[in-house]
């Protein structure tokens, strides 16, 4: 396959049909950057198109000078000797330099006299006249619980937590797994690892025990930080229970989790399941309560000096094989890039009354870079909200903005489309006058949602920054800078200073304006991934093996996204061209879902494809062939109840976000003569583009359509 077929059609209205990647969309609206004074932001870091152009040109003409200057904004224990050592695809940034990430986010602000500044504004989910799941019959308070954590408190808590982790044997170079709700202690745990020079691997709280197990084993993690539960839409998510299941399964496979540190957040467990700190529990691990282990630890813990290229974290993301990839980010380069992109994209500045709210969970890269690291490095308060956008009502987010006078709001297209559906009257009921800049991330945004966002949330005055990037890039790679770059709804506009982005064909030649191709980055940048944990081959072939500089043969970084540039040089990302789907902005490997399906005893074979979905961008459609012998022996029918059972099976194995929206049974999956599943055909069938004669309530027969399309792939 040489063209990113199919993916473009899934791109929420941005992009062409399934037959190719040439876009048919013509979007002519354009919004000029607002005047800083009129918007009330004081000043712009980059204040005109000309200034942006100059900065971008200079950054590419003298990358070492540019990145050296950016790195100078961080606090280093020892300065670097060389900005970059590049032997494709391996980059070493700020070679010889030593630093500490927690020091850069917390301690240096305290030392500079800002210890009493607010670092985190946290709001818990429970609120309003609803019956508590935790204690039936009781009511939540009318006002939500709010905590403001200062840099001094954060310094103290990260020190205590680091000492507690150290007493469990955690040291520089280890990987600590974190599986927690969105509470301040999640940020504390992340920063405490950094304080010790240990790497963290944060797993999103929506993942199921099997997914935890896979990630813990791959990372070789011996210590897990979790909570008894977390609140989500008024319910308790049983996090500790999921960890216990994962730890038990791991011990059966010869991997022992040694310690589990548990924050008591919900206190919902019955006495029979409670434990005492220090007791051995599921999987043979020793369990510790946070309030005892962290609360009782010393508050003195100097930040450990680490090398610029020492690993800061692992973050698992889905790929086109069934196994998630542990993306490796290192300390110096990631921090420089997260700090710079946060500052430029959102015009962050301390002491300017800014309040930054990114709604992503810290379990995703967006939460790493724009809830924790990038924002804290810029000394701007970061908002963490624990729960769902529709609890207790559909206007919860707008009340959070009004309550905390949020100036920057950063969310995902799927959320924006949901807000649109919920109605204009909900944001209109709240005071959103504090907002200055709006951001979006995670998938292509359809222009209609973009314009709605600008009008109903930004009151037609806040610029909207559509930030295109990936787990692998560490921070934004294409985005408008709000004071400098005119925006067009649906376009992520122009590259970040320092980023040499292009749309090319398979030979690495740049595509003419308007023509679709592959989105590549032609030279290294500090935030780039340094590897896939334990899998060199995957790192090299996935990202660096596909496109080369036609003149020098040097590999380009390939993002696996299709894109085009318009006549103004603006980028329009069309979507993934590999076998991953973006569901509500979250990456899911089709293979992951397929493996979960075939682990069900009744399933012989499964193929999973994305189909367009109004709110989620893409939804999951699973085509399944069943084992006739199993149906007979169990006395089952291939009907609705089995479809539901299979969908729940996937949710249990991978997590709720992987639950298929549609399960369809087929006699046999359509295959080419060489035996490859005809995914494009399945995508067309799922999208309703290609009809097959039978109705979908019975077994579908692909034999006719697939014979007509034998030439595919
Ligand atoms: O397909 C692109 C899409 O999300 C992918 C990266 O997903 P992940 O690593 O989970 O990181 C999400 C948060 C950065 C990309 O390959 N994507 C992300 N942002 C955009 C986007 N597609 C279009 N426009 C965006 N703004």
Long-range contacts of 638-645 (CB under 8 A, 24+ apart): 638/665, 638/698, 638/699, 639/697, 642/602, 645/600
- With a cut of 90, say whether residue 271 has pLDDT above it: no
d(CA 455, CA 424): 10
Asked whether the beta carbons of 649 and 642 are under 8 A apart, the reply is no
pLDDT of 4 > 60? The answer is no
680 vs 286: which has the higher pLDDT: 286
Q: Is the domain defined by 8-98+318-572 classed in CATH 3.40.50.12780?
A: yes
Cα(82) to centroid of ligand 1, in Å?
A: 31
One fold for both 8-98+318-572 and 150-304?
A: yes
Ligand 1 center from residue 442 Cα (angstroms): 4
DSSP state, 408?
E
Q: Cβ(574) to ligand 1 under 6 A?
A: no
As a whole number of angstroms, the distance between CA 199 and CA 201 comes to: 7
Residue reference for tokens 């075939």: 598
**Cβ(10) to ligand 1 under 6 A?**
no
Q: Tell me, using a 6 A CB cutoff, whether residue 589 lines ligand 1.
A: no
- What's the 291 CA to ligand 1 centre distance in angstroms? 37
Burial class (CB in 10 A: 0-12, 13-18, 19+), 448: middle
Q: Specify the residue with its C-alpha closest to ligand 1, atom 14.
A: 470
What's the 476 CA to ligand 1 centre distance in angstroms? Answer: 10
For tokens 């991934």, the residue is: 529
Pairwise CA distance, residues 598 & 416, whole Å = 34
The CA distances from residue 203 to 59, 239, 319, 358, 513, in Å, are 35, 11, 16, 18, 40
- In this structure, the residue with its CA closest to atom 22 of ligand 1 is 443
**Alpha carbon 509 to its chain's center:** 30
Answer whether 492 contacts ligand 1 (Cβ < 6 A).
yes
Per-residue pLDDT, averaged over 480-493, amounts to 98
- Place 671 in a pLDDT band, splitting at 50, 70 and 90: confident
443 C-alpha to ligand 1 centroid (Å): 5
The pLDDT value recorded for residue 705 is: 74
Strands 571-576 and 286-289 come out as: unpaired
The per-residue pLDDT for 310 is 98
CA atoms within 13 A of residue 270's CA, in its CB half-sphere: 2
Band of the pLDDT at 198, cuts 50, 70, 90?
Answer: very high
The closest-lying atom of ligand 1 relative to the alpha carbon of residue 472 is: 9
Residue 509 has pLDDT above 70, yes or no: yes
Residue 157 Cβ inside 6 Å of ligand 1? The answer reads no
- State yes or no: pLDDT of 21 exceeds 50: no
Measured CA to CA, the distance from residue 452 to residue 586 in angstroms comes to 22
- pLDDT of 329 > 60? The answer is yes
Domain ranges (residues) in the chain? 8-98+318-572, 150-304, 580-712
Does 504 have pLDDT greater than 70?
Answer: yes
* 5 pLDDT tier (thresholds 50, 70, 90): very low
8 lines ligand 1 (CB under 6 A): no
**pLDDT band (50, 70, 90) for residue 132:** very low
CATH class of 150-304: alpha beta
- The DSSP line for 368-404 is IIIIIIHHHHTT--EEEE-S-TTSSSTTHHHHHHHHH
3-state helix, strand, coil in the chain (%, to 5): 35, 25, 45
CATH 3.40.190.10 correct for 580-712:
no
* Residue 696 pLDDT class (50, 70, 90 cuts): low
- Asked, as a colleague might, if the bond just before 392 is cis with ω within 30 of 0, I would say yes
What's the whole-number mean pLDDT along residues 557-586?
94
Q: What is the pLDDT of residue 709?
A: 66
Residue 43 has pLDDT above 90, yes or no: yes
- Among 573, 578, 579, the mutation site with the greatest number of ligand 1 atoms within 8 A of its Cβ is 573
Q: Pick from 9, 468, 520, 557 the residue to mutate for probing ligand 1's pocket: most ligand atoms within 8 Å of its CB.
A: 468
Answer for the pair 531, 516: CB distance below 8 angstroms, yes or no: no
Show the tokens assigned to 326.
């542990």
Closest residue CA from atom 5 of ligand 1: 470
Q: What is the pLDDT of residues 513-522, one digit of tens each?
A: 999 999 999 9
The encoded tokens of residue 96 equal: 């010889």
The C-alpha atoms of residue 185 and residue 191 are separated, in whole angstroms, by 10
Residue among 12, 362, 470, 489 whose CB has most ligand 1 atoms within 8 A, to mutate: 470
Residue 449's pLDDT is 96
Mean pLDDT computed over 442-449: 94
Nearest atom in ligand 1 to the alpha carbon of residue 366 is 13
Report the DSSP pairing between strands 603-613 and 617-626.
antiparallel
pTM above the 0.75 mark? yes
DSSP SS3 for 39: helix
Share of the chain above pLDDT 90, in %: 84
Question: How much of the chain, in percent, has pLDDT values that exceed 70?
Answer: 92
Contact between 603 and 609 under an 8 Å Cβ cutoff? The reply is no
Confidence band (pLDDT; 50, 70, 90) for 691? Answer: confident
Of the candidate ranges 10-19, 150-159, 415-424, the one whose mean pLDDT is the lowest: 10-19
Pairing of strands 517-521, 557-565: antiparallel
């Amino acid at each position: 396959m040489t063209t990113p077929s199919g993916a473009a059609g899934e791109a929420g209205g941005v992009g062409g049909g399934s037959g190719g990647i040439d876009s048919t969309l013509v979007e002519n609206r354009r919004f000029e950057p607002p005047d800083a004074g009129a918007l009330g932001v004081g000043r712009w870091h980059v204040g005109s198109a000309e200034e942006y152009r100059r900065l971008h040109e200079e950054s590419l003409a003298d990358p070492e000078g540019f990145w050296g200057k950016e790195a100078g904004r961080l606090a280093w224990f020892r300065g670097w000797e060389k900005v970059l050592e590049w032997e494709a695809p391996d980059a070493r940034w700020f070679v010889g330099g030593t630093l500490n990430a927690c020091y850069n986010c917390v301690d240096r602000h305290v030392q500079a006299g800002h210890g009493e500044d607010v670092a985190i504004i946290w709001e818990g989910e429970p609120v309003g006249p609803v019956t508590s799941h935790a204690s039936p019959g009781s009511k939540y308070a009318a006002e939500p619980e709010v905590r403001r954590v200062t840099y001094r408190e954060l310094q103290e808590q990260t020190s205590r937590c680091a000492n507690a982790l150290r007493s469990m044997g955690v040291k520089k170079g280890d990987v600590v797994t974190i599986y927690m709700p969105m509470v301040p202690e999640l940020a504390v745990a992340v920063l405490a690892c950094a304080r010790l020079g240990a790497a963290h691997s944060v797993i999103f709280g929506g993942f199921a025990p099997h997914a935890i197990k896979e990630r813990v084993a791959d990372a070789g993690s011996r210590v897990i930080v979790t909570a008894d539960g977390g609140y989500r839409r008024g319910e308790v998510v049983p996090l500790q229970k999921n960890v216990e299941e994962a730890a038990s399964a791991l011990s059966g496979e010869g991997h022992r989790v040694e310690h589990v540190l548990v924050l008591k957040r919900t206190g919902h467990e019955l006495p029979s399941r409670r434990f005492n700190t220090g007791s051995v529990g599921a999987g043979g691990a020793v369990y510790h309560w946070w309030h005892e282990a962290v609360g009782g630890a010393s508050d003195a813990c100097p930040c450990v000096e680490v090398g610029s290229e020492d690993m800061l974290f692992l973050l698992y993301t889905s790929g086109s094989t069934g196994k998630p990839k542990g993306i490796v980010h290192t300390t110096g380069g990631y921090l420089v890039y997260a700090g710079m992109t946060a500052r430029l994209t959102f015009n962050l500045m301390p002491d300017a009354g800014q309040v930054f709210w990114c709604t992503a969970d810290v379990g995703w890269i967006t939460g790493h870079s724009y809830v924790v690291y990038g924002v804290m490095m810029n000394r701007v308060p970061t908002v963490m909200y624990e729960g769902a956008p529709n609890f207790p009502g559909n206007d919860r987010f707008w009340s959070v903005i009004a309550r905390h006078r949020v100036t920057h709001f950063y969310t995902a297209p799927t959320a924006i489309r949901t807000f649109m559906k919920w109605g204009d009257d909900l944001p209109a009921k709240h005071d959103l006058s504090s907002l200055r800049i709006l951001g979006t991330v995670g998938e292509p945004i359809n222009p209609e949602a973009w314009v709605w966002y600008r009008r109903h949330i930004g009151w037609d005055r806040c610029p909207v920054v559509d930030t295109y990037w990936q787990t692998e890039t560490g921070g934004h790679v294409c985005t408008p800078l709000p004071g400098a770059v005119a925006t067009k709804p649906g376009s992520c506009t122009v590259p970040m200073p320092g980023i040499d982005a292009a749309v090319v064909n398979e030979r690495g030649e740049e595509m003419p304006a308007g023509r679709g191709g592959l989105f590549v980055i032609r030279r290294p940048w500090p935030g780039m991934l340094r590897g896939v944990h334990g899998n060199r081959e995957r790192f090299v072939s996935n990202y660096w093996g596909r496109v080369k500089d036609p003149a020098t043969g040097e590999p380009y970084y390939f993002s696996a996204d299709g894109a085009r540039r318009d006549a103004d040089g603006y980028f329009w990302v069309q979507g993934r061209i590999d076998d991953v789907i973006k569901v509500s902005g979250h990456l899911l490997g089709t293979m992951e879902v397929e493996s979960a399906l075939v682990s069900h005893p009744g399933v012989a074979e499964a193929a999973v494809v994305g189909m367009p979905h109004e709110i989620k961008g893409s939804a999951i459609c699973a085509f399944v062939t069943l084992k006739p012998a199993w149906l007979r022996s169990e006395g089952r029918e291939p009907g609705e109840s089995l479809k539901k059972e299979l969908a729940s099976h996937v949710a249990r194995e991978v997590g709720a976000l992987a639950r298929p929206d549609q399960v369809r049974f087929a006699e046999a999956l359509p295959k080419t003569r060489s035996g490859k599943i005809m995914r494009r055909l399945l995508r067309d069938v799922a999208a309703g583009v290609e009809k097959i004669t039978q109705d979908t309530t019975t077994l579908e027969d692909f034999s006719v359509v697939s014979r007509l399309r034998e030439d595919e792939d």
